[in-house]
Amino acid sequence: MSGPEETYRPSVIVPTAIRKRRSLSGKPLTPTELEILRWASEGKTVWEISQIRATSEATVKFHLRNIYGKLDVTNRVQAKNEAVRQGLC
């Protein structure tokens, strides 16, 4: 072999949801997201929050996903704890 050897480098595929979450990390929560986080931290379900806010359950889930991404967490308990740690709640 006279040329440089090629090294096999497998490409890493990062799911879209993780890429989006990473791109939101560190951004501030909007007033709507803060309200939804408050209701969620009080134990309200997605349906209950949608009724309180007069919006769809899909919209509430959308905001929750954004909250998780901005706080770099994966669930409500972590989101509440992180919000308390940051002084948001």
Q: Is residue 17, in this structure, part of any structural domain at all?
A: no
Q: Is residue 48, in this structure, part of any structural domain at all?
A: yes
Which pLDDT value is given to residue 21? 54
- Is the CB of residue 63 less than 8 Å from the CB of residue 44? no
Which tens digits make up the pLDDT trace of 13-62? 766 655 555 678 878 999 999 999 999 999 999 999 999 999 999 999 99
Q: Is residue 72, in this structure, part of any structural domain at all?
A: yes
Domain count of the fold of the chain: 1
Which pLDDT value is given to residue 88? 85
Look at the alpha carbons of 61, 76, 36, 81 in this order and tell me if their dihedral is positive or negative.
negative
Domain CATH code at residue 62:
1.10.10.10
Which pLDDT value is given to residue 26? 79
Q: Is residue 2, in this structure, part of any structural domain at all?
A: no
Q: Is residue 18, in this structure, part of any structural domain at all?
A: no
Q: Is residue 77, in this structure, part of any structural domain at all?
A: yes
With b for 16 or more beta-carbon neighbours within 10 A and e for fewer, the 74-89 pattern comes to eeeeebbebbeeeebe
Q: Is residue 19, in this structure, part of any structural domain at all?
A: no
pLDDT bracket for residue 3 (50, 70, 90):
low
Domain around 59: 28-85
Distance CA 4, CA 86 (A): 51
